[in-house]
Amino acid sequence: MDIATIAGLIAGSLVVGSAILMGGDVGTFINIPSIFIVIGGGFSATIIRFPLKNVFQALALGGKVAFSHKSAEPKDMIDNIAELATTVRRDGPLALDNLEIDDDLLKKGTQFVADGYEPEFIQELLELERDQYLERLDEAQRIYKAIGDAAPAFGMIGTIVGLVQMLSNMEDPSTIGPAMAVALLTTLYGALIANLVALPIADKLSTKGKIVEVAHTLTIDGVMQLSAGKNPNLIREMLSAYLPEKVRAQMIAAEASAVTT
Amino acid sequence: MDIATIAGLIAGSLVVGSAILMGGDVGTFINIPSIFIVIGGGFSATIIRFPLKNVFQALALGGKVAFSHKSAEPKDMIDNIAELATTVRRDGPLALDNLEIDDDLLKKGTQFVADGYEPEFIQELLELERDQYLERLDEAQRIYKAIGDAAPAFGMIGTIVGLVQMLSNMEDPSTIGPAMAVALLTTLYGALIANLVALPIADKLSTKGKIVEVAHTLTIDGVMQLSAGKNPNLIREMLSAYLPEKVRAQMIAAEASAVTT
Amino acid sequence: MDIATIAGLIAGSLVVGSAILMGGDVGTFINIPSIFIVIGGGFSATIIRFPLKNVFQALALGGKVAFSHKSAEPKDMIDNIAELATTVRRDGPLALDNLEIDDDLLKKGTQFVADGYEPEFIQELLELERDQYLERLDEAQRIYKAIGDAAPAFGMIGTIVGLVQMLSNMEDPSTIGPAMAVALLTTLYGALIANLVALPIADKLSTKGKIVEVAHTLTIDGVMQLSAGKNPNLIREMLSAYLPEKVRAQMIAAEASAVTT
Amino acid sequence: MDIATIAGLIAGSLVVGSAILMGGDVGTFINIPSIFIVIGGGFSATIIRFPLKNVFQALALGGKVAFSHKSAEPKDMIDNIAELATTVRRDGPLALDNLEIDDDLLKKGTQFVADGYEPEFIQELLELERDQYLERLDEAQRIYKAIGDAAPAFGMIGTIVGLVQMLSNMEDPSTIGPAMAVALLTTLYGALIANLVALPIADKLSTKGKIVEVAHTLTIDGVMQLSAGKNPNLIREMLSAYLPEKVRAQMIAAEASAVTT
Amino acid sequence: MDIATIAGLIAGSLVVGSAILMGGDVGTFINIPSIFIVIGGGFSATIIRFPLKNVFQALALGGKVAFSHKSAEPKDMIDNIAELATTVRRDGPLALDNLEIDDDLLKKGTQFVADGYEPEFIQELLELERDQYLERLDEAQRIYKAIGDAAPAFGMIGTIVGLVQMLSNMEDPSTIGPAMAVALLTTLYGALIANLVALPIADKLSTKGKIVEVAHTLTIDGVMQLSAGKNPNLIREMLSAYLPEKVRAQMIAAEASAVTT
């Protein structure tokens, strides 16, 4: 689980929720037709913009990626691949066939190596897999952004509909206040969906995309070296270029002191 | 028919419509002069921006493209062209003359081949055709976007006109509410036209433009190979570069297993 | 006359005007001080931004270009130049001296040819002329855009001034409504000036600039070939590169059938 | 003096001022605390953004440049430099020592020439001078723009402060109107500062920067040729590349007719 | 301390504070739930956007950098490094071991030189250090900007929540005013956080980033020359390229007069 996404959503809901609770009457803030107009309207505008099936795929993928925290540390991934390289050196590539591997792309890659595919084919297949995944992440980000644009627009539309209804029917002054309160709810829902959910998740997807790109490229590089039967230490050395700078700084410092002492 | 565009429009209208229905009086929301001011004003501002005849053409083209779903799958198009190549190999280019072909550009291209035009002329003509079509799609997109900008502006102008009329004539307090309700209708219409129709269709046209560009370029490439009398399998191979990555991945995997087994 | 610009302005004014008329009292919507504050304020902010004399020149030029429809069809221009080339071949360059020519740049160019200037001087002079004209069109566009930004800002300023006056003097409740109506008029004027006049004309100038650039470049090329005494058919052939794609497609198709038949 | 800037400011103030005067009570529109909150708040936000001393320098420089009209016509500058070249040719570089020169950069440059500095040193020093001046103009422009962003924001903040005070203390209904009037004043001040002063001056500085760049580069080129003791006519010829196109067109036409007659 | 940042914050708070004080009742403007909703909501939206730990680090770093004024003048830094070079020349690199050095990066660099690391290792380590610091500054800037976007959004959300509560419960008219006052407080807090704190600090971090980049690059260059045992005067000469133009202009002028006299 990605604590930050969930913590943010829960904290934001709590903050707004407690502000509502302190006003006493929670029921005032729940209005099914208002929820319907904002979510339904925002969704309608989004499926005109994007192909229908992409919208559902993207919503699911985006949700999964934003909330999950699967992307392992590059350091662990390198260790993992170096270990596999040791196995290959000891027992041959066929030994990769019956291994438990968490990472989907690495699993697919080692399977290809175990199956004895040509390196070029393996590389092309894995890169296609990575590019498709990144493309889907990118589309998910654009779709969440489109929702973040459409929700406040339909929030405003809902509020105007409510105001028109209230204004054209003002015989009983005591109903004016509550009617306006209901009219404002769609604006509130639209602002919450956009600012607490859709736009932050769109930003998160863009951040995750960059992390995934590095991780997948590292994995593909590692698999190619596995398939070439490279030495585990050499693999470790070559893949260290993917490490964040801090870790590399420590490694360089260690080497430097090793050289000079 | 492009289900997504229509589904989105119907769903959005239903959502807003049911919100209006639940308020009871539908008639309040229909006001011919308000519709007139938003659509008329938005249209006026648009025909100042763009040449008059282009606006009508673009509205029609944009509507047709956004709602239709003619662009065939690249895979089917390749099969189609490979089949034509078989015909050419068997019966010569003249056999293309009396074939039923759905795709306009492919039909025109095969006709040119059947008529024995020079390949350079065929290519230049088909590329001009494609570029003109894309240019018209692009202008349609800009015109829908301009409408999406102008409609809310004239919605606001209409509301101010209504407010001024109401404010300068407040003898009878009971008319204030209904008058303001009517004034707000233009803002509502402007927001609906922009957010439910014009801007999403503009986005859709931009997406369709990319799909059409690939499809037409594939078609032109295919026609050139037809006119050169190429082997159907070779054509299939060369055109596979236009396939989306998923399909290509399957093809590569199939080849890879074919090679290694 | 450019029908679209005028039709748009008239249609937009009619739409807004009829909305006002239907409210009964037209006088409510005419308020000289409000017109004064929006136009005066917008104009003041514009002359701070741009050199004083450029503003007047640009307003005049912009108006003239947006409403006029002088730019001839490229096809007619090519015919025109080819005809002049025939005259030159028959009677020598001096025959250009006493010809009636509509297009200013072409007239100037043929005059230079008749006067026997060096080709390099003619080209440099005509290109300077074209570049200055385009630069002035471009500045006119930026000035109309600046007015389109300033008018709504001063509309809002005028409305706040009116509101402050009304609010600080509310003894007689019956004056509140009409006072607010007057206050809103500046916002209405600002929105109309920006959305119906200034911004659409700015866009139109940018479109016209592109058309003028092609037309003037075609004219300069044609004059250079006149001055070189080229054959009319050759000139027609060379200048056809400036034709829009549709017309060229017809010409290519005609040639192709001519070649193959 | 730059008439346009001053004329614009005066005209804008007159327009708004007369709108206020016509409402009768000018005093309503003058509220020291409101002026204080908009100018103080906008200034506070600006000095967080930019180093303190730069803000004061930039305000002064920006004001001076926007209102002054010192930049001479390129044609006069060339005449001026050509005259100095005549002096140098007749009396040697030392004659430049006791000349009255208006333009600061030219004065500094001729002084360097009179002092017998190496040409490379002179060029490097003058270019540093020019680049620093342009950099300071550019920073002044960014600071005026930041003020134009901050003023309306603090105008809104002031209005909300006023509204909260009014709303939390509504015992005497007769004070509501005047209190709201005062609250709106900060929004009015913010809009006026941004739209009539800060943003137009920022634009003006950007325009002036382009003019100054040409003028200073022309001056540096001229000084370098003075220091090389070049012939006045040659200098005039070489510097004519800096003239605006209209003037150059006249010169070319003159030469052309001179050549052909 | 960076006087400008603090002065700006204090001045801005004083300005708004005195506007509040003059209204009499300060208590009206302090509302813990409103503070809670704006800060809590803005923070929630931010931690969805960015990894959790980065947000805290960035807030701390950003605050530290915006308020501190550690970046020494380039001129002093060059003097400092030249002095160290003198020490190295006199006493050997080991003498750098027990020196008191303020600047963190310079201290680390001289320590590496004293420890006898290879120049390539030193350079790579120091550049990694600099790049990480700049990357963290950049992320801090983006996080402050995200807060500056989220705070007004949650200010608006809080105001709508308050309005809905007030409108749905209007039995006692005397509570309407105060309730609306409280509702407006979140908008006020959001505007203040964004316009007085978050956005200006984001801009400041971007300015400081540029200064730090120059200072750190200068330091790394200096350390490399220290480790090569270069002559102090040579170091001074080479590092002078980092000086701002004004100081360089003085140095060039001094040299020029030295050469010519």
Subunits in contact with chain D (3 or more CB pairs closer than 8 Å): C, E
Max intra-chain CA distance, chain B: 92
Selection from D197-206, E29-38, E147-156 with the highest mean pLDDT:
E147-156
- Number of Cβ pairs closer than 8 Å across C and D? 145
Instruction: Give the pLDDT confidence of E83-125 residue by residue, as tens digits.
Output: 889 988 888 888 888 778 888 889 888 888 888 888 888 898 8
Q: Which residues contact A94 (CB under 8 A, 6 or more apart)?
A: A114
The answer to pTM > 0.80 is yes
Predicted local distance difference test score (pLDDT) of residue C147: 93
**Is the CB of residue A177 less than 8 Å away from at least one CB of chain E?**
yes
Contact call for E192 and D116, based on CB within 8 A:
no
**Residues in chain C closer than 8 A to B51 (CB atoms):** 4, 207
Asked if D154 contacts D141 with a C-beta cutoff of 8 angstroms, the reply is no
Tokens matching residue D168 = 């939390």
Instruction: Report CB contact under 8 Å: E25, D165.
Output: yes
Q: Determine the pLDDT at residue C148.
A: 94
Residue contact E22–D33, C-beta within 8 A: yes
Using DSSP's 3-state secondary structure scheme, residue D69 falls into coil
Within chain B, strands assigned E span: none
Structure token digits, residue E162: 């308050």
Mutation target to probe the A interface, by most A beta carbons within 10 A, among B188, B207, B247 is: B188
Confidence of residue C171 (pLDDT cuts 50, 70, 90): confident
Query: What was the ipTM of the complex prediction?
Result: 0.81
Q: How far apart are CA E164 and CA B106, in angstroms?
A: 61
Question: With contact defined as beta carbons under 8 Å apart, do D158 and E20 qualify?
Answer: no
Structure tokens at A115: 């199956």
Of D132, D207, E132, which is closest to residue C51 (Cα–Cα)? D207
Q: Amino acid identity of A30?
A: I
What are the pLDDT tens digits along chain A (261 aa)?
A: 577 788 888 999 998 888 888 877 788 888 888 899 999 999 999 988 887 778 888 888 888 888 876 656 788 888 889 888 898 888 888 888 877 888 888 988 888 888 888 888 889 888 888 888 898 899 899 999 999 999 999 999 999 999 998 888 877 878 888 888 889 999 999 999 999 999 999 988 888 888 888 889 999 999 998 888 888 888 888 888 777 666 666 666 666 566 555
Residue in C13, C188, C206, C259 to test binding to B, most B beta-carbons within 10 Å: C188
Q: Which residues of D160-176 are buried (b: 16+ CB within 10 A; e: fewer)?
A: bbbbbbbbbbbeeeeeb
E245 and D164: CB-CB below 8 Å? no
Nearest to B158, CA basis, from A182, A160, C151: A160
- Give the one of A36, A129, A150 whose C-beta lies nearest to B195's C-beta: A150
In chain A the first and final C-alpha atoms are separated, in Å, by 44
Q: What percent of chain D has pLDDT over 70?
A: 90
CA nearest neighbour of E236 among E212, E218, E257: E218
Cα-trace Rg, chain A = 26
- Give me the pLDDT at residue D97, please: 80
Of the candidate ranges A129-143, D1-15, E203-217, the one whose mean pLDDT is the lowest: D1-15
Q: What does the alpha-carbon distance between residue C186 and residue B164 come to, in Å, rounded to a whole number?
A: 11
Computed on alpha carbons and rounded to an integer, the radius of gyration of chain C in Å comes to: 26
Token pair in block for residue B166: 């109401």
Are 3 or more Cβ–Cβ pairs between C and A shorter than 8 Å? no
Residue E184 touches partner D, C-beta closer than 8 Å:
yes
pLDDT in tens, C102-130: 888 898 888 888 888 888 888 988 888 88
For residue E50, the chain A residues in CB contact (below 8 A) are 4, 207
For residue B221, give the nearest of B238, B243, B245, B244 by alpha carbon.
B238
Distance CA A250, CA A84 (A): 25
- pLDDT at B57 (0 to 100): 86
Q: How confident is the model at residue C163 (pLDDT cuts 50, 70, 90)?
A: very high
pLDDT 10s digits, D9-24: 899 999 888 888 887 7
Mean pLDDT of D142-159: 94
Give chain C positions within 8 Å (CB) of B50.
4, 207
Q: Cα(C151)–Cα(C171) distance, rounded to whole angstroms? A: 32
Query: With an 8 Å Cβ cutoff, is D177 touching chain E?
Result: no
| CB-CB under 8 Å, B12 with A44 | yes
Which of B35, B37, B49, B139 would best serve as a mutation to test chain C binding (most C beta carbons within 10 A)?
B49
CA separation for the pair A200, A202 (Å, rounded):
5
Tell which of D111, D164, D171, D189 to mutate to test the E interface (max E CBs under 10 Å). Answer: D164
What is the structure's pLDDT at A259? 55
Tokens matching residue C17: 């005007």
* Chain B residues with beta carbon closer than 8 angstroms to that of C18: 33, 36
Q: Do D245 and C37 touch (CB under 8 A)?
A: no
DSSP classification of residue D68:
-
Residues in CB range of C115: below 8 A, 6 or more apart? C97, D260
Q: What is the pLDDT of residues C82-100, one digit of tens each?
A: 888 998 888 888 888 877 8
Q: Between chain B and chain A, are at least 3 CB pairs below 8 A?
A: yes
CA quadruple B92, B93, B97, B99: dihedral sign: positive
Q: Indicate the average pLDDT of chain E.
A: 85
Inter-chain contact D188–C157, Cβ cutoff 8 Å?
yes
* Closest alpha carbon within chain A to E132: A245
| Residues in E touching A186 (Cβ below 8 Å) | none
SS3 (DSSP) at C249:
helix
Q: Would you call E41 and A16 a contact, using CB atoms and an 8 Å cutoff?
A: yes
Chain C partners within 8 Å of B118 (Cβ): 256, 259-260
Angstrom distance (rounded) from CA B150 to CA B45? 7
**If pLDDT is split at 50, 70 and 90, which confidence band does E229 have?**
confident
Tokens 């000891």: give the residue. Answer: A90
The proportion of chain C whose per-residue pLDDT surpasses 70, expressed as a percent, equals 90
**Identity of the amino acid at A174:** S
Which parts of chain B register pLDDT below 70?
1-2, 69-72, 244-261
Question: Which phi and psi angles does D95 have, rounded to 5°?
Answer: -65, -20
**Residue contacts between B and C (CB atoms, under 8 Å):** 144
Residue C237 CA to residue C248 CA, distance in Å, equals 11
Q: Which residue of D has its CA nearest to E249?
A: D125
Dig out the tokens for A235 from the structure.
């693999």
